[in-house]
Amino acid sequence: MGDNLVIASKVGHYKGEFPHAYDPRNIRAQCERSLSNLKRDYLDIYYLHHGDFGPNYEYLDDAASTMEALRTEGRIRTIGQSAYKSSQFEKIVPILQPSVIQTWAHMMDTNLSNPMES
C-alpha cells in the first residue's frame, strides 16, 4: 500500500467475551484482529468508537493506558476518539489525549443545524 493512505479502525461495539467493549483485553484483541484482517503491522489511527466507558467512566483510565501502550508498541500510530455528545469529549479528551476526534456530524447529514447536545 502506498504512503498516501491512512488506515483506520475502531473498537467499541463488539465486546466479545469481555464485560465491556473497552475492557483492555478487548481493545487489544480487536486491534490484533484488525491488523490481521488488513494484513498490516500497524494502524494509522485506532479509534475508540463511542463515549460509553461504563458507569462513572469506569473503563476510561484502563482504555487510555491500553491505547497508549499500543502506540508505544508501534501497533497504532495515532489514538482517535469518536463520541456523540460534547460532554463525553469534555470528560474523555483530557484523559485519553487523542490526536484525532470524530463527532456525529458528517457531510451527508442534512440536519447539521442540530448541534451536539451536552
- The end-to-end CA distance of the chain, in Å, is 40
Domains, the chain: 8-102 (3.20.20.100)
DSSP of 68-91 = HHHHHTTSEEEEEEE-SSHHHHHH
Residue type, 27: I
Residues 4-48 pLDDT 10s: 899 999 999 999 999 999 999 999 999 999 999 999 999 999 999
Residues 42-85 pLDDT 10s: 999 999 999 999 999 999 999 999 999 999 999 999 999 999 88
